[in-house]
């Protein structure tokens, strides 16, 4: 049996595999390593429909001349998933009271729902609440979906546009000790919340760049590789959240001002400089 991947002959020969399903299972770790997922199949020049996938998996490879495997990047599949979310949200809003349950049920059983839960659990939870009549409604959800799509479609531009937000939250972190000391608890809580959101955005954009083949290994932050720097960032962030939950205001202020603000500023600047340098 000849195996082709996205139309190109693949130098792959089954060993102990007997069925198409076993071949695909053996290839799955390799696909994950390339940042791609299975998106379609063909048997001897004929596309395998969604209703025939299970039968296809059980076919003996000795009865097949050519197995076509089609893959798509995780980023592309995630972007497609977000488009489906938008369509489902629009359908839910337009549906009558009795039809809303059917829309929600179709969404729960869809491929897009599974992909969203895997790639963005927080967004998946938001969609679930929206379809249950909870949460802040479809409008804010749609705004977040549009933001995630921009991050996937043009991560470099989205990173650059985040500069003002990063600068503002770093300044707020440096003011956090004074806010805590003067009893501005609401402002302090808001600062922690906004900081968490901004940090997650920077990490998401970095992940898109990395999965898209950007040479992130070459980025250094304060003489430390970006991967090590991010690991240290996560550890310090956890220390900040623990201190905040334990109401250790002194430690919260110290970590925010002397650790998190310079770390976020340093990470953002290093990645942005690398992106700009790559454009030249």
The single-letter DSSP state of residue 232 is H
Domain identity same for 56 and 110: no
Same domain, 46 and 7: yes
User: Are residues 148 and 82 both part of a single domain?
Assistant: yes
Per-residue confidence (pLDDT) for residue 279, from 0 to 100: 63
Summary mean pLDDT of the chain: 89
Cβ atoms of 267 and 221 closer than 8 Å? yes
Domain of 20 in residue numbering reads as 2-73
Domain boundary (130, 153, 176) is at 153
Pair (174, 264) in one structural domain: yes
Statement to judge: residues 140 and 169 lie in one domain = no
CB count, 10 Å around CB of 26?
14
Nearest to 192 by CA among 237, 230, 231: 237
Residues 185 and 263 in one domain: yes
Contact 19, 62 (CB under 8 A): no
The number of distinct structural domains making up the chain is 3
Residues 30 and 43 in one domain: yes
Q: Are residues 19 and 64 in the same domain?
A: yes
Kindly report the CATH number assigned to the domain that includes residue 26: 3.10.20
Looking at the fold, whether 183 and 251 belong to one and the same domain comes out as: yes
Among 17, 39, 73, where does a domain finish? Answer: 73
Residues 226 and 138 placed together within one structural domain of the fold: no
pLDDT digits (tens, 9 = 90+) for 252-263: 889 999 999 999
> Which tens digits make up the pLDDT trace of 157-200?
999 999 999 999 999 999 999 998 898 989 988 999 999 999 99
Using DSSP, state whether 273 is helix, strand or coil.
helix
pLDDT, one tens digit per residue, over 124-143 is: 999 988 888 876 677 888 89
Q: What is the pTM (predicted TM-score) of this model?
A: 0.77
* Pick from 133, 86, 90, 80: nearest CA to 111: 80
* Max Cα distance, the chain (Å): 77
Residues 159 and 274 in one domain: yes
Question: Angle, to 10 degrees, between the axis of helix 163-181 and the axis of helix 261-279?
Answer: 170
pLDDT value at position 280?
A: 55
Burial class (CB in 10 A: 0-12, 13-18, 19+), 257: middle
What per-residue confidence (pLDDT) applies to 159?
93
Q: Is 66 left (phi over 0), alpha (psi -120 to 50) or beta?
A: beta
Q: Note whether 192 and 109 are same-domain residues.
A: no
pLDDT classification of 15: cutoffs 50, 70, 90: confident
Choose between 167 and 210: higher pLDDT. Answer: 167
At 136 the pLDDT is 67
Say what the pLDDT of residue 36 is. Answer: 84
* pLDDT (0 to 100) of residue 158: 93
Last residue of a domain, one of 137, 153, 169: 153
- Cβ atoms within 10 Å, residue 20: 25
Confidence band for 244, pLDDT divided at 50, 70 and 90: confident
How far is Cα 225 from Cα 37, in angstroms, rounded to an integer?
A: 29
């Amino acid at each position: 049996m000849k195996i082709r991947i996205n139309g190109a002959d693949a130098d792959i020969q089954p060993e102990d595999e007997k069925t198409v399903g076993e071949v695909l299972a053996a290839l799955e770790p390799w696909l994950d390593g390339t940042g791609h997922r299975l998106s379609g199949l063909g048997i001897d020049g004929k596309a395998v429909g969604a209703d025939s996938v299970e039968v296809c998996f059980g076919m003996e490879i000795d009865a097949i001349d050519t197995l076509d495997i089609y893959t798509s990047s995780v980023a592309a599949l995630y972007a497609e998933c977000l488009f489906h979310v938008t369509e489902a949200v629009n359908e839910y809003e337009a549906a009558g009271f009795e039809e809303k349950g059917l829309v929600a049920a179709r969404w729960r059983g869809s491929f897009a729902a599974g992909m969203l839960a895997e790639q963005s659990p927080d967004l998946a939870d938001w969609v679930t609440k929206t379809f249950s009549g909870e949460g802040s409604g479809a409008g804010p959800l749609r705004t977040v979906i549009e933001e995630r799509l921009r991050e996937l479609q043009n991560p470099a531009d989205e990173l650059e546009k985040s500069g003002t937000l990063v600068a503002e939250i770093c300044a707020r972190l440096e003011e956090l000790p004074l806010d805590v000391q003067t009893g501005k608890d609401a402002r302090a809580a808001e600062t922690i919340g906004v900081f968490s959101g901004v940090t997650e955005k920077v990490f998401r954009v970095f992940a898109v760049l990395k999965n898209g083949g950007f040479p992130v290994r070459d980025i250094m932050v304060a003489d430390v590789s970006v991967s090590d720097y991010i690991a240290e960032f996560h550890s310090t962030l956890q220390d900040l959240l623990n201190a905040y939950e334990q109401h250790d205001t002194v430690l919260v202020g110290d970590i925010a001002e002397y650790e998190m603000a310079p770390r976020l500023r340093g990470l953002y600047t290093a990645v942005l400089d690398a992106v700009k340098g790559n454009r030249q």
